Amino acid sequence: MSGALAVILRAQVLGAWNRLTKRNPARLVILAISLVVAGVFLGGGAFAVGATAGHFLPFALDSLLAAGFTALSLLMLVVGFPTVISSLFVGRDLLQLVVAPVRTRDIFAARLMTAVTANLLLSFILAAGVLGVGAGAGASWFYFPMALLLIVLQVLVVTSLQAILMTVILRWVPAKLARDVAAGVAGLTGAALYLAWNLNLRKTFGRRGAPDVTNLTSFVSRIDWLPTTWPGHALSAALQGSIGPALVWVLVTVALCVLLVATAELLYERTLLYGLGVFGAPTAAWRRRKARPIQPAPPLTAGALRARAELPTGSGAQGSPYRALAIKDWLGFRRDVRRLTRLLPALLLPLGYAAALTQPARSLSGFWSNVALVTFLSMFMSSALASPSVPSERRGFQLIRLAPLTMWQLLRAKVFIALPPVLATMLVFSLAVAVTSKSGAVQLLELVIFGVWLAAGFVSISVSGGAIDPHFEATDDRRSVGVVGTLTAIGGSLGFAVISIGALALFLFGEQAAAGTANLGPLPSTPVVGFAMILGGVLLVAAACALVGVLLTFANARLRSFDASISES
Partner 1 sequence: MSDTASPAVEARQLVKRYGNVVAVDGVSFQATRGEIFGFLGANGAGKTTTLRMLCGLLRPTSGMALIDGIDIVAQPVPAKAKLGYLDEEPFVHPHLTGREFLDFVADLYGMARGRQRVERMERLLNLFDLAQKDGELIGGYSHGMRQKIGLASLLIREPSVLLLDEPTNGLDPRSARLVKDLLEELAARGTTVLLSTHILEVAQALCRRVAIIDRGRIVAIGSMDELRVQTGSEGANLEDLFLKLTAGPESRDMIERLLEGGS
Q: Which residues bind partner 1 (CB under 8 A)?
A: 287-292, 294-295, 297-306, 308-309, 311-321, 323-325, 327-328, 331-332, 335-336, 395-396, 398-406, 561, 563, 565, 568
How many Å apart are CA 142 and CA 130, to the nearest integer?
13
Query: Nearer Cβ to partner 1, position 442 or 564?
Result: 564
Query: Nearer Cβ to partner 1, position 43 or 396?
Result: 396
462: left (phi over 0), alpha (psi -120 to 50) or beta: alpha
- Phi (first) and psi of residue 285, to 5 degrees: -55, -35
Q: CB atoms < 10 A from the CB of 74, how many?
A: 13
Q: Least distance in Å: CB of 271 to partner 1?
A: 22
Q: Least distance in Å: CB of 340 to partner 1?
A: 11
Q: Which stretches of 363-469 are DSSP H helices? A: 367-386, 396-402, 407-436, 441-468
Q: CB atoms < 10 A from the CB of 384, how many?
A: 22
Query: Nearer Cβ to partner 1, position 72 or 418?
Result: 418
Q: Least distance in Å: CB of 185 to partner 1?
A: 21
User: What residues have CB less than 8 Å from 103, skipping those under 6 apart?
Assistant: 2, 4
Query: Nearer Cβ to partner 1, position 25 or 298?
Result: 298
Q: Least distance in Å: CB of 312 to partner 1?
A: 6
In our burial notation (b when 16+ CB lie closer than 10 A, e otherwise), range 4-35 reads bbeebbeebeeeeeeeeeeeeeeeeeeeeeee
Q: CB atoms < 10 A from the CB of 217, how many?
A: 15
Query: Nearer Cβ to partner 1, position 92 or 289?
Result: 289
Q: Least distance in Å: CB of 322 to partner 1?
A: 9
Do 69 and 236 form a contact (C-beta atoms < 8 A)? no
Q: CB atoms < 10 A from the CB of 320, how many?
A: 11
Q: Least distance in Å: CB of 544 to partner 1?
A: 31
Q: Least distance in Å: CB of 317 to partner 1?
A: 5
Query: Nearer Cβ to partner 1, position 331 or 542?
Result: 331
Nearest to 411 by CA among 545, 546, 547, 560: 560
The residue type found at 86 is: S
Query: Nearer Cβ to partner 1, position 6 or 304?
Result: 304
Query: Nearer Cβ to partner 1, position 204 or 301?
Result: 301
Q: Least distance in Å: CB of 514 to partner 1?
A: 50
